[in-house]
Amino acid sequence: MKRIAALIAATALALTACGSGGTSTTADSGAKACPNGEVRFGIEPYEDPAKLTPAYQVLTGALQRGLNCSVKLQIVQDYSAEVLAMQNGKLELAEFGPLGFVFASRRANAEPLVSFGDAKGNLTTYKAGIWVPKDSPLQSVADLRGKSLALSGPGSTSGDALPRLALAKNNLDKSSVKLEYSGGHPQALLALTNGKVDAAEINTQQLASAKAAGTFDESKFRQIWSSDPIPNDPITVAGSMDPAFKDAVRKALLNLKPEEVAAVGKFLDVDPAGPLVAVTKDTYKPLFDMADTLGLTEGDV
């Protein structure tokens, strides 16, 4: 009788381990899609965290349902902190700005999975810009010599690297232009509207958000420079993760409905939003080239 009882107990234990699918393959697959019972998803504070949080909670909530795994949203302190967090195994997933991804790829082996698509399913882009008051005598980047320029923060693609590249092409640098890092895109815009600087970077994403919020009257300002299109932020996975996990996350992200990413999309000037679209490292090659041209290192992020 003891042997029979032991056999029954062992059988029950084996069935429990197999999960509801009835096979060990299903259990193993589920475990790989939910390592340690939780997935940590990081984002940079490119907008007011109080505004970002509810938007990203919609996206991560949908991802959580797709993975059948808890997804914890983490808004990190800045660009470098997010790279460091993935490098140190503190984040399984992270959305980086395009330039932030360059350093996350090189330093933390981040791998791009998806980015934000439009209603037709095409990858979306945005542009960096430099703006001045409408009555300013400044007409071009060359006119910024001896003037002050508000930038977002070190490591920002549109709020630092691209404006600095534009300056370099006009033989200008921090010794000839007073660069003021304001702490974010909204703060750079405020520095301009409050008359604290002669010019400021305002990318198309921040422009759309500010106009929608009624905090920027475009008729009182004008743009003196615009960058080429920049591919939108990639959502990445730590390269050290199991391939089965990477595949599960990629599939879950690509299956998100447009309405589940729409709130985030509005911050990225994606409106109306479409489904997320697959991207690769090659998508961001121009950013890798720019980093090399400017001689940027991880210390610049």
In this predicted structure, what is the pLDDT of residue 179?
A: 97
Residues 6+ apart with CB under 8 A from 20: 26
Percent of the chain with pLDDT over 70: 88
**159-218 confidence digits (pLDDT tens):** 999 999 999 999 999 899 999 999 989 999 999 999 999 999 999 999 999 999 999 999
For the whole model, what pTM was predicted?
0.79
Indicate the Cα dihedral angle 252, 257, 262, 263, nearest 10°: -60
Nearest in space to 192 (alpha carbons), one of 225, 151, 252, 250: 151
Which carries the bigger pLDDT value, residue 69 or residue 299?
Answer: 69
Nearest in space to 122 (alpha carbons), one of 249, 299, 1, 275: 275
Architecture of domain 34-123+232-300: 3-Layer(aba) Sandwich (3.40)
Residue ranges of the chain that CATH labels 3.40.190.10: 34-123+232-300, 128-227
Architecture of domain 128-227: 3-Layer(aba) Sandwich (3.40)
| E-assigned strand segments in the chain | 38-43, 70-75, 93-95, 110-118, 125-126, 129-133, 148-151, 178-181, 199-201, 221-226, 230-231, 235-238, 273-278
Nearest in space to 268 (alpha carbons), one of 38, 96, 57: 96
